[in-house]
Structure 1
Amino acid sequence: MGYKTILAVLDSTKSARQISDFSIALAEQFGSHVIGLHSEAVAAMPLIAPMEIPDPVAVQAMQDMAHEETRTIGQVFEEAGRREGVSTEWRSFLSSSGYGQAFTDSTRSVDLIVAAQGEQGAASENRSELETVLYESGRPVLLVPYIFKEPKPIKRVLIAWNGSREAARATFDALPFLKQATSVEIFSVVDSEAADASKALPGGEIAAALARHGVNVTVVTKELAELRASAHIENRLSDESIDLLVMGAYSHKRWWEVLFGGVTRTVLDSMTALTLLSR
């Protein structure tokens, strides 16, 4: 079992090389075909004041810039594939309305989507729309922190577990990574004072299921106490030198607003590990 078709979302020249390199590295690991995907927006029509006359010169200049960006991103991706001898495919779409149906269709026919972490503390309209498309794709999304410059092996994995449908989906979507990891931790933040608190060990059943797949798994719980759940997760990522965080994406179009049963955007804004999200 592995990720045989990987989609690299190349939305900007700033992250094109990083996402290309990470996607190609995963393709080498799993024997995958990689699709490089870019959506080029049709330039809006600038108007000349005071009569609001369309300015075709400005429109052409803006479109030329967009074409050049697409060409540059395509070159970066294709060169990375040739360099490593990986099977690749380049797709670029011209769209006047965001990312368009062709872009969305591409996201729904792959095993794994690889995309860059958004700018910290910012959510441009374009980025927000991209994340909405990825969120609605129905496929697992691997986010790469902008601080990561080159791929490294995924040896230590942490699963943020709260027993939800989304967490279960993310866990099994991550199974190819889990089976190759040296250690996998089921991590739960519990509130022992909650009225519905269970005395059973959180994560015990999912750990047993993963163990049957040959996953080297342990279960760890932390008391909610005075720390937020996001702070517990961040501390654990740092203390255990985690390479991959696996968590459910919850029923809201902005991942960072409602995560892990109330964890805020803090987790994704301060990413120190690759993060796999599923809904």
Structure 2
Amino acid sequence: MAYKTILAVLDTPQNARQIADFSIALAEKFSSHLIGAHAETLAAVPLIAPMEIPDPAAVQVLQEVAQKETAEVERIFKERTAREGLSAEWRSFMSAAGYSSASVMETARTSDLIVASQSDPAHADHRADLETFLFESGRPMLLVPYTMKEPVAINRILVAWNGSREAARATFDSLPFLKAATTVEILLIDPPDRGDRAPELAGTEIAATLARHDINVTLTTQETGGSLPAAAVIENRLSDNSIDLLVMGGYGHSRWWEMLFGGVTRSLLDSMTALTLLSR
């Protein structure tokens, strides 16, 4: 199993080089076909009072800026993929819906893996349309911390496991990474005491399943007694074990920072220190 079609979401010139380089490294690792995508959102039409008619000059300026950005992102992607000699293609989209448009969704839903950049929490604009696109795509999403400028080897992986459908989806969607990793740790936080199974036995079945894939897996259960948020437990584990990739299920409604691991909040992704693979 491998990711044979990778979709690189290059939404701004600022992160285009970062995401292109990470995606190229993965495409080389898995012998993948790489698709670079950028969605240009049609500019909102400024109105001139008192007649409230469209201002054509303002619309033209906005569209020229957007087209210039698209051209720059395309140049970066094509320059880098041509240099590496990859199987690659470029797709640009223009619609009022941006990354939520049907054409972008069709591309996303026919990809094995989506690679995108974490939003910089210091900026007010978190690109809500892109985050909706990531949530609705139905495909595993690899998010790259905005502070991580160079591709890294994925040797140590942490799987946040709670036995849910979403956690199972993320775990099996990440199998190509898990099989290539040096170590894989399954982390359970405050597992419930079920009538047919003690808490200390939680996670043993998924650990055994992964071991049958010849994955070097360990199982860790951490009891907090409710004194520590799950996000903090995961953050500490990422730091203490120098984790390269976090794998977890996506939960919730519309924004990816609010849909993690039940009670894990936006703070986890705002403080990302490792690559993070999400599935829903």
TM > 0.5 fold call: yes
Query: For the residues of structure 1 that align with 2:53 and 2:244, how far apart are their CA atoms?
Result: 54
- 2:253 aligns to what? 252
User: After alignment, is 72-81 or 199-208 more displaced?
Assistant: 199-208
For 1:39, give the aligned amino acid: A
Between the two proteins, the alignment pairs up a number of residues equal to 278
2:266 paired with 1:277: no
Q: Are 2:162 and 2:191, in contact at CA under 8 Å, matched by a contact in 1?
A: no
Q: Are 1:141 and 1:276, in contact at CA under 8 Å, matched by a contact in 2?
A: yes
Give 3-state SS (helix, strand or coil) of 1:89's partner.
strand
User: Following TM superposition, by how much is the alpha carbon of 1:251 offset from its aligned partner in structure 2, in angstroms?
Assistant: 3.3
TM-score normalised per structure 2: 0.94
Q: Are 1:189 and 1:223, in contact at CA under 8 Å, matched by a contact in 2?
A: yes
User: Following TM superposition, by how much is the alpha carbon of 1:191 offset from its aligned partner in structure 2, in angstroms?
Assistant: 5.4
Which string of whole-angstrom CA distances, capped at 9 and with x for unpartnered residues, describes residues 144-174 of structure 1? 0001001010000000010111001000000
- 2:112 aligns to what? 111
Distance 1:191 1:140, change over 3 A: closer
- 2:189 aligns to what? 189
Give 3-state SS (helix, strand or coil) of 2:93's partner.
strand
Which string of whole-angstrom CA distances, capped at 9 and with x for unpartnered residues, describes residues 214-260 of structure 1? 10000011112311111000000000000000000013222222321
User: Following TM superposition, by how much is the alpha carbon of 1:198 offset from its aligned partner in structure 2, in angstroms?
Assistant: 3.2
For 1:98, give the aligned amino acid: G
For 2:217, give the aligned amino acid: V
Query: For the residues of structure 1 that align with 2:156 and 2:38, how far apart are their CA atoms?
Result: 31
For 1:275, give the aligned amino acid: T
User: After alignment, is 229-238 or 82-91 more displaced?
Assistant: 82-91
- 1:144 aligns to what? 144
- 2:155 aligns to what? 155
2:107 paired with 1:82: no
- 1:174 aligns to what? 174
Query: For the residues of structure 1 that align with 2:44 and 2:107, how far apart are their CA atoms?
Result: 25
- 1:227 aligns to what? 228
Which string of whole-angstrom CA distances, capped at 9 and with x for unpartnered residues, describes residues 56-109 of structure 1? 111111111111100000000111101111111000011023331101110000
Query: For the residues of structure 2 that align with 1:205 and 1:75, how far apart are their CA atoms?
Result: 48
Query: For the residues of structure 2 that align with 1:260 and 1:191, how far apart are their CA atoms?
Result: 13
For 2:45, give the aligned amino acid: M
For 1:230, give the aligned amino acid: A
- 1:91 aligns to what? 91
Give the unaligned 5+ runs of structure 1: none
- 1:130 aligns to what? 130
User: After alignment, is 156-165 or 257-266 more displaced?
Assistant: 257-266
Which string of whole-angstrom CA distances, capped at 9 and with x for unpartnered residues, describes residues 128-153 of structure 1? 22211221111100000001001010
Q: Are 1:184 and 1:215, in contact at CA under 8 Å, matched by a contact in 2?
A: yes
* Root-mean-square deviation over aligned CA pairs: 1.8
Q: Are 2:134 and 2:256, in contact at CA under 8 Å, matched by a contact in 1?
A: no
Q: Are 2:193 and 2:199, in contact at CA under 8 Å, matched by a contact in 1?
A: no
Give 3-state SS (helix, strand or coil) of 1:256's partner.
helix
Query: For the residues of structure 1 that align with 2:55 and 2:198, how far apart are their CA atoms?
Result: 66
- 1:165 aligns to what? 165
Query: For the residues of structure 1 that align with 2:27 and 2:166, how far apart are their CA atoms?
Result: 26
Distance 1:40 1:270, change over 3 A: same
Q: Are 2:251 and 2:258, in contact at CA under 8 Å, matched by a contact in 1?
A: no
User: Following TM superposition, by how much is the alpha carbon of 1:52 offset from its aligned partner in structure 2, in angstroms?
Assistant: 3.0
- 2:56 aligns to what? 56
What percent of counterpart residues are identical?
A: 63
User: After alignment, is 197-206 or 252-261 more displaced?
Assistant: 197-206
- 1:265 aligns to what? 266
User: After alignment, is 92-101 or 154-163 more displaced?
Assistant: 92-101
Give 3-state SS (helix, strand or coil) of 2:143's partner.
strand
Query: For the residues of structure 2 that align with 1:242 and 1:146, how far apart are their CA atoms?
Result: 17
Give 3-state SS (helix, strand or coil) of 1:245's partner.
strand
2:37 paired with 1:23: no
Q: Are 1:245 and 1:274, in contact at CA under 8 Å, matched by a contact in 2?
A: yes
Give 3-state SS (helix, strand or coil) of 2:142's partner.
strand
User: After alignment, is 61-70 or 251-260 more displaced?
Assistant: 251-260
- 1:14 aligns to what? 14
Q: Are 1:39 and 1:92, in contact at CA under 8 Å, matched by a contact in 2?
A: yes
2:244 paired with 1:240: no
Give 3-state SS (helix, strand or coil) of 1:252's partner.
coil
Which string of whole-angstrom CA distances, capped at 9 and with x for unpartnered residues, describes residues 170-201 of structure 1? 00000000000000000111157899983342
